[in-house]
Amino acid sequence: MSTLFISDIHLCAQRPDMTAALVRFLEHDAPGADALYVLGDLFEFWIGDDDPNALHHQVAAALLALSQQNVPIYFIHGNRDFMLGQQFAKQAGMTLLGDPCIIDLYGERVLLSHGDLLCTRDEGYQKYRRITQLKWLRWLFLRLPLTRRQAIAHKIRGQSRMEKTVKRQTIMDVTPAAVDEMLRAHHCRMMIHGHTHRPAIHNFTLDGQAARRIVLGDWFEQGSVLVCHPGEQHLEVRTLPEG
CA gap 26, 233 in Å, rounded: 19
The answer to whether 197 is annotated as binding is yes
The answer to whether 160 is annotated as binding is yes
Half-sphere exposure of 126 (CA within 13 A, CB side): 14
The whole-angstrom distance between residue 7's C-alpha and the CA centroid of its chain comes to 4
CA gap 125, 116 in Å, rounded: 9
CA gap 136, 101 in Å, rounded: 24
The answer to whether 224 is annotated as binding is no
The answer to whether 10 is annotated as binding is yes
CA gap 47, 162 in Å, rounded: 21
Residue 2 CB contacts under 8 Å (≥ 6 apart), including other chains: 32, 33, 34, 227, 228, 229
The answer to whether 164 is annotated as binding is yes
The answer to whether 195 is annotated as binding is yes
Quickly list H helices, 95-232.
123-132, 135-141, 146-166, 176-185
The answer to whether 167 is annotated as binding is yes
Radius of gyration of the CA atoms of the chain, in A:
18
Kindly write down the DSSP assignment for every residue of 196-238, as one continuous string.
S---EEEEEEETTEEEEEEE---SSSSEEEEEEETTEEEEEEE
For 109, the enclosing helix (H) or strand (E) is strand 108-113
Residues annotated in the binding site for Mn(2+), as ranges? 8, 10, 41, 79, 114, 195, 197
The annotated binding site is made up of 8, 10, 41, 79-80, 114, 122, 160, 164, 167, 195, 197
Q: Which residues are annotated as a binding site for substrate?
A: 79-80, 122, 160, 164, 167, 195
